């Protein structure tokens, strides 16, 4: 009986391996750049076309290859970097598997030119889908050039799977940045479709970081330096006030290799404890060096995780050294005894002078007279604590209380001349009105009549703000409680969308145009968003390579909010720009509404509260925020009655 097991032909095996190594153009960029670094190049040029889909070329001035090696490098498991398994534990190079070139050659058209310094002539090889097409002797400069064209030409399914050029370009950019940051002593340049994205002369870490991020990065960096037996740490963290909304600029390098580590990230974050606004992310660029035998990088080629021998020691050292740096540069309190925050004075009691307790005695009080006006209602002051009985989430906003909002707390409520005066304006003539028309929001008519002027109870104040979070307003059937943040999001969202669709946003001209600096990746995104942003009222002057110039802004934005809005937008769009312009507008409107909506914890004047409530109910879709959360709830008088009946 003939055997049914067969060895796969090399080109098939290579194609299968390629599935793991090469996922997208960025994978090719990574492999070729790393090979150039391993070849000890001091000058590396990356050229791509169509986000790398049509061309990825890397030209280096490294050691080059001999004629034999030039051919051998495309064979599977062909590597010059390790000879025996033990070498894995003292690895000083990026590559070691000898898989990359074989894999790439299996799924693309590839051209290689290489020459070693001492040789007169070099080698020029063309290989397509693992088949050698030609090999010639050629006059070449020292070093190696790999050009990879038509990626996945023979695997249409994989080719179709690639994302838009914008997304693929971002991946390429990520890989380029990682390698360029890890090797500041190498001159890197990068061209996309003929235009220069980066030209980074050999430099130190700081200059390289600034070169890659943006001109404004320099002033944000705080150096970190630590030398111990088990680890050396060099690099920079950013001052807390420059923390960003997204995690875009967080880099760990271990022995010059970019890695991701949730654990070490946690160490950094804990060093910033108490210094960051909620949810904001500090940028960091940390270059760790550990003895090669204390880590295990023998992992999947495309993975960036790493295993350390003594993780918890690294954690402690990293945390301490960053804390120290932040402290030294006066951005953090140096002393920190892991305070128990439960022992802190509650915020709203801080700086409030203690009052000597007094006893109020009403000398005129006579229990045997019938005169109600004599009664004291001092107890009603405790009634104000009732508002804190709302749901648990209110406790999170508790710290946002300013002392002033609490001043009513310590005040003794003066005896009211007559308790009826508390209810002045309540429609007492027609008490049945309360019972009629139970309130349903599904019903359009009821909704639209909600705030007819004569429907709102005619008290002097129509709305009340509680916990700087909710606006309460009496309505015919009871009361409505509006979440100020979500309501405002809804209002702004509809406004922006309307402006964008009818394209008639008005903008305010800035006296001094704003220069806003961004990284190359961000600049690219902004360029694509510009047309949509202009429909909201932004006016841009011609932008430079690393910054945009904003000369006009939408009317509902203040100058100081501009950079926040754009940053939020970039962070919201991190996962790729939506394909259709409709959803792009929607994303922009949502993002801007999110940044600009009045926050929980903001005090609103009576007029602002009023505008907010009216604005909400003038919306097309007042019931939910743009993020599908309820914007208000109602409470009918019967519901309240029930609570009192208990």
User: Residue numbers of the site for ligand ADP (CB under 6 A)?
Assistant: 31, 35-36, 39, 60, 62-65, 73, 78-81, 95-101, 144
Query: Count of residues binding Mg ion (CB under 5 A)?
Result: 3
Residue closer to Mg ion (CB basis): 77 or 372 = 77
Give least dist CB 65 to ligand ADP, A.
5
Residue closer to ligand ADP (CB basis): 45 or 220 = 45
Q: For Mg ion, which stretch binds (CB under 5 A), given 87-95, 148-156, 480-488, 506-514?
A: 87-95
Strands 55-60, 109-115: pairing is unpaired
Give least dist CB 38 to Mg ion, A.
7
Give least dist CB 514 to ligand ADP, A.
44
**If contact means CB under 5 to 8 A according to the sort of partner, which of Mg ion, ligand ADP, none does residue 198 touch?**
none
Torsion sign (Cα): 273, 276, 282, 284? negative
Contact pattern for Mg ion over residues 20 through 59, marking x by CB under 5 A: ---------------x------------------------
Residue closer to ligand ADP (CB basis): 97 or 206 = 97
**If contact means CB under 5 to 8 A according to the sort of partner, which of Mg ion, ligand ADP, none does residue 145 touch?**
none
Residue closer to ligand ADP (CB basis): 106 or 500 = 106
**If contact means CB under 5 to 8 A according to the sort of partner, which of ligand ADP, Mg ion, none does residue 521 touch?**
none
Torsion sign (Cα): 179, 183, 184, 187? negative
How far is 575 from 300, CA to CA, in rounded Å? 24
Please, which residues have CB within 8 angstroms of residue 511's CB and are 6 or more apart in sequence? none
Torsion sign (Cα): 582, 540, 242, 344? negative
Please, which residues have CB within 8 angstroms of residue 568's CB and are 6 or more apart in sequence? 245, 591, 592, 594, 595
Q: Which residue is nearest to ligand ADP (CB)?
A: 95
Cβ-in-10-Å burial (0-12, 13-18, 19+) of 304 comes to: middle
Q: Are 513 and 503 in contact (CB under 8 A)?
A: no
The phi-psi region of residue 537 (left if phi > 0; otherwise alpha if psi is between -120 and 50; otherwise beta) is left
How far is 609 from 488, CA to CA, in rounded Å? 10
Give least dist CB 21 to Mg ion, A.
10
Reading the block at residue 611, the tokens are 């505008």
Residue closer to Mg ion (CB basis): 52 or 235 = 52
Residue closer to ligand ADP (CB basis): 108 or 533 = 108
Cα separation values, 226 from 33, 117, 321, Å: 29, 39, 6
Check residue 248 for interaction with Mg ion (CB under 5 A). Answer: no
Residue closer to ligand ADP (CB basis): 98 or 513 = 98
Cα first-last separation, the chain: 87
**If contact means CB under 5 to 8 A according to the sort of partner, which of Mg ion, ligand ADP, none does residue 39 touch?**
ligand ADP
Give least dist CB 37 to ligand ADP, A.
9
Residue closer to ligand ADP (CB basis): 62 or 626 = 62
Give least dist CB 144 to ligand ADP, A.
4
Residue closer to ligand ADP (CB basis): 36 or 127 = 36
**If contact means CB under 5 to 8 A according to the sort of partner, which of ligand ADP, Mg ion, none does residue 248 touch?**
none
Give least dist CB 279 to ligand ADP, A.
40
Q: Indicate which single residue of 25, 52, 95, 184 sits in contact with Mg ion (rule: CB under 5 A).
A: 95
Reading the block at residue 600, the tokens are 């929980």
How far is 462 from 606, CA to CA, in rounded Å? 8
How far is 562 from 80, CA to CA, in rounded Å? 53
Torsion sign (Cα): 260, 264, 266, 272? negative
What 3-state DSSP class applies to 112?
Answer: strand
How far is 515 from 537, CA to CA, in rounded Å? 17
Check residue 100 for interaction with Mg ion (CB under 5 A). Answer: yes
Element (H, E) at 169: helix 165-182
Give least dist CB 537 to Mg ion, A.
50
How far is 86 from 84, CA to CA, in rounded Å? 5
Give least dist CB 484 to Mg ion, A.
56
Residue closer to ligand ADP (CB basis): 144 or 556 = 144
Name the residues that contact Mg ion, by CB under 5 A.
Answer: 35, 95, 100
């Amino acid at each position: 009986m003939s055997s049914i097991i067969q060895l796969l032909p090399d080109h098939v095996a290579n194609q299968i391996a390629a599935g793991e190594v090469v996922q997208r153009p960025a994978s090719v960029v990574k492999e070729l750049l790393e090979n150039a670094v391993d070849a000890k190049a001091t000058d590396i040029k990356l050229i791509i076309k169509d986000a790398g889909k049509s061309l990825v070329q890397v030209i280096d001035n490294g050691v080059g290859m001999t004629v034999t090696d030039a051919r051998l490098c495309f064979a599977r498991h062909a590597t010059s970097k390790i000879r025996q398994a033990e070498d894995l534990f003292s690895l000083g190079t990026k590559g070691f598997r000898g898989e990359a070139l074989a894999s790439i050659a299996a799924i693309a058209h590839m051209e290689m030119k290489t020459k070693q310094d001492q040789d007169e002539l070099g080698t020029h090889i063309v290989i397509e889908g693992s088949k050698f097409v030609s090999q010639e002797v050629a006059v070449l400069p020292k070093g190696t050039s790999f050009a990879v064209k038509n990626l996945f030409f023979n695997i249409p399914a994989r080719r179709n799977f690639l994302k838009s050029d914008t997304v693929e370009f971002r991946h390429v950019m990520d890989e380029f940045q990682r390698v360029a940051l890890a090797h500041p002593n190498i001159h890197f340049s990068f061209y996309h479709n003929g235009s220069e994205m980066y030209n980074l002369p050999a430099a130190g870490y700081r200059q390289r970081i600034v070169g890659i991020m943006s001109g404004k990065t320099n002033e944000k960096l705080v150096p970190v330096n630590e030398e111990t037996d088990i680890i050396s740490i060099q690099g920079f963290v950013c001052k807390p006030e420059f923390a960003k909304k997204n995690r875009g600029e967080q880099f760990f390098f271990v022995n010059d290799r970019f890695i991701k580590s949730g654990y070490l990230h946690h160490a950094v974050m804990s060093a910033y404890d108490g210094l960051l606004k909620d949810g904001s992310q500090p940028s960091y660029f940390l270059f760790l060096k550990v003895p090669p035998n204390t880590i295990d990088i023998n992992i999947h080629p495309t993975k960036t995780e790493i295993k350390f021998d003594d993780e918890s020691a690294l954690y402690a050292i990293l945390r301490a050294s960053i804390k120290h740096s932040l402290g030294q540069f006066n951005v953090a309190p140096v002393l920190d005894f892991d305070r128990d925050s439960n022992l802190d004075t509650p915020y709203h009691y801080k700086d409030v002078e203690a009052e000597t307790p007094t006893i109020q005695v009403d000398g005129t009080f006579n229990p045997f007279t019938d005169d109600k006006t004599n009664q004291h209602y001092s107890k009603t002051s405790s009634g104000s604590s009732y508002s804190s009985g709302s749901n648990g989430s209110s406790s999170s906003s508790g710290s946002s209380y300013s002392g002033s909002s609490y001043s009513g707390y310590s005040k003794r409520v003066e005896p009211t001349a007559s308790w009826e005066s508390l209810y002045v304006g309540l429609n007492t003539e027609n008490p049945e009105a309360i019972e009629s028309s139970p309130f349903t929001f599904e019903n359009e008519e009821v909704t639209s009549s909600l705030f007819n002027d004569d429907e709102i109870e005619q008290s002097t104040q129509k709305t009340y703000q509680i916990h700087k979070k909710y606006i309460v307003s009496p309505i015919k059937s009871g009361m409505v409680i509006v979440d100020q943040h979500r309501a405002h999001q809804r209002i702004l969202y509809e406004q922006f969308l309307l402006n964008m669709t009818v394209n008639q946003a008005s903008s305010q001209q800035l006296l001094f145009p704003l220069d806003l600096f961004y990284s190359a990746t961000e600049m690219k995104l902004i360029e694509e968003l510009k047309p949509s942003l202009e429909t909201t009222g932004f006016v841009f002057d011609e932008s430079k390579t690393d910054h945009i110039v904003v000369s006009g802004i939408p009317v509902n934005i203040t100058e100081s909010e501009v950079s926040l809005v754009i940053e939020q937008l970039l962070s919201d769009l991190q996962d790729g720009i939506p394909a259709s312009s409709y959803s792009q507008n929607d994303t922009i409107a949502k993002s801007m509404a999110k940044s600009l909506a009045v926050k929980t914890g903001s005090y609103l004047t009576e007029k602002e509260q009023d505008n907010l409530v009216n604005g909400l109910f003038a919306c097309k879709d007042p019931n939910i925020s743009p993020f599908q959360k309820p914007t208000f709830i109602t409470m009918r008088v019967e519901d309240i009655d029930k609570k009192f009946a208990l």
